[in-house]
Amino acid sequence: MATGYVWHELYGWHDTSSHAGLLPPSLIMQPYHHFESPESKQRFHSLLEVCGLIDHLTRIEPKQASDEDILRIHTPEHLARIKAESATMRGGDAGDGTSPFGPQGFEIAALAAGGSIAALNAVLAGDVTNAYALVRPPGHHARPETGMGFCIFANAAIAIAQAKAANPDLRVATVDWDVHHGNGTQAAFCDDPTVLTISLHQDDLFPRNSGAIEERGEGAGLGYAINVPLPAGTGNEGYAYAMDTVVIPALRRFSPDVIVVPSGFDASCFDPLGRMSVTASGYRVMTRQLMDVAEDVCAGRIMMTHEGGYSPTYVPLCGVTVLSEMSGVPVDVIHELYASFDTMPEQTLNDYQRSAVDRAAAAVSFA
């Protein structure tokens, strides 16, 4: 059993400018760092090295996704605009004013999509059992015609579309545990019954009015999009219950050939952009839950591709913990001061969380 791992130094060079959190540099607020800064991801990679886990992983080299790869999901206009802005000395924005990129940002965004492609191909080829693509910029909000929410290209969707171009019979399920709704991945496959998209997210956080239980796919894909909006505050037990009650049964029924996880660690108890309470051990449990079902239905094949997560100190602990579980290499990077968050009251499943999950479960129906 081998676990693949993608990282490229250029992922840390994606330049989100001197925004003050979300605000473009101006005199409205003192310029600072964009929320989507390199820190959480570069430090995740650094901790993998220092704790030694990286020596047990199979490095996978990303290369830039081709225009053809990107155009399987995105419009020619979107690709052309990103390229044109990227070729200027000031860079540009992927579409909503909060998704900046620097000069040559296109090349890095294409390398992020290419990292997801490389990881998925390594899993499908059997070179590794599972893989984690620690890419940047993220992708799960990007829609065919535009980027948004810090995302430029839809990394996970581009990887899936590439794999399905090579093998049209491939059946893929996505499980997006980023705290925000995986709207872009859902949109890419909304009418496709061969790609089941599942998103667990904080109810109506971002994008607003997106990811309700009632969003279930369209046309031939009706039923093949599943949304599990969870109340703000949900912790480890609530997430495990959602996995057990909605995600795992749906995966067993759909029986994909591979599970793709847009993986954000912004549902953590330390995240500045989410109001959830998941700890590193909660992410380990969810990883185990996915591995158990993957072993039963698809020979363990899982590819995770990195999305959000904005705590520079806690994202690395979540990431290393997930990779420890995926690889079966026992690594414990959780100091007792951090472990104490596992036993706080917000970790307990409460009645309104249970009923939110049960409502999502009741809406699931596909052939």
- Contact positions toward ligand 3YP, by CB under 6 A? 22, 98, 140-141, 149-150, 178, 180, 206, 264, 266, 273, 307-308
Which partner, ligand 3YP, Zn ion, none, binds residue 149 by CB below 5 to 8 Å per kind?
A: ligand 3YP
d(CA 201, CA 180): 5
CA dihedral 89, 76, 150, 57 (to 10 degrees): -100
185 or 279: CB nearest ligand 3YP: 185
Q: Is 178 in the site for Zn ion (CB under 5 A)?
A: yes
Cis peptide before 137 (omega within 30 of 0): yes
d(CA 317, CA 295): 25
Helix axes 315-327, 280-298, angle to 10 degrees: 30
**Residue of 158, 148, 147 lying closest to 65 (CA atoms):** 158
62 or 308: CB nearest Zn ion: 308
In degrees, to the nearest 5, what angle opens at C-alpha 153 toward C-alphas 147 and 157?
120
Question: How big is the chain, counted in residues?
Answer: 367
Which partner, ligand 3YP, Zn ion, none, binds residue 98 by CB below 5 to 8 Å per kind?
A: ligand 3YP
**Residue of 186, 278, 199 lying closest to 232 (CA atoms):** 278
Query: How many C-beta neighbours within 10 Å does residue 10 have?
Result: 15
Q: Contact at 8 Å (CB) between 179 and 153? A: no
14 or 141: CB nearest ligand 3YP: 141
Q: Is 192 in the site for Zn ion (CB under 5 A)?
A: no
- CB of residue 200 to ligand 3YP, shortest distance in Å: 12
**Residue of 154, 164, 152, 151 lying closest to 121 (CA atoms):** 164
Which partner, ligand 3YP, Zn ion, none, binds residue 73 by CB below 5 to 8 Å per kind?
A: none
Q: Is 176 in the site for Zn ion (CB under 5 A)?
A: no
- CB of residue 358 to ligand 3YP, shortest distance in Å: 25
Write the binding mask 301 to 320 for Zn ion: x where contact by CB under 5 A, - elsewhere: -------x------------
- CB of residue 151 to Zn ion, shortest distance in Å: 9
Query: How many C-beta neighbours within 10 Å does residue 61 have?
Result: 10
Q: Contact at 8 Å (CB) between 280 and 288? A: no
- Which residue number is nearest to ligand 3YP in terms of Cβ? 308
Concatenated DSSP letters of 98-131: S-EE-TTHHHHHHHHHHHHHHHHHHHHHTS-SEE
d(CA 319, CA 323): 6
Write the binding mask 69 to 88 for Zn ion: x where contact by CB under 5 A, - elsewhere: --------------------
Write the binding mask 247 to 276 for Zn ion: x where contact by CB under 5 A, - elsewhere: -----------------x-x----------
- CB of residue 266 to ligand 3YP, shortest distance in Å: 5
161 or 267: CB nearest Zn ion: 267
Q: Is 229 in the site for Zn ion (CB under 5 A)?
A: no
State the catalytic residues: 141
Which partner, ligand 3YP, Zn ion, none, binds residue 234 by CB below 5 to 8 Å per kind?
A: none
100 or 264: CB nearest Zn ion: 264
14 or 180: CB nearest Zn ion: 180
- CB of residue 265 to ligand 3YP, shortest distance in Å: 10
98 or 130: CB nearest ligand 3YP: 98
**Residue of 227, 241, 340 lying closest to 286 (CA atoms):** 241
Phi, psi (deg, nearest 5) at residue 100: -75, 155
Q: Contact at 8 Å (CB) between 188 and 157? A: yes
- CB of residue 209 to ligand 3YP, shortest distance in Å: 14
- CB of residue 264 to ligand 3YP, shortest distance in Å: 5
Which partner, Zn ion, ligand 3YP, none, binds residue 206 by CB below 5 to 8 Å per kind?
A: ligand 3YP
Sheet holding 258-263, edge to edge: 58-59, 3-6, 130-133, 302-306, 258-263, 172-176, 195-202, 225-230
Candidates 72, 78, 180, 216: give the one binding Zn ion (CB under 5 A): 180
- Point out which residues bind Zn ion (CB under 5 A): 178, 180, 264, 266, 308
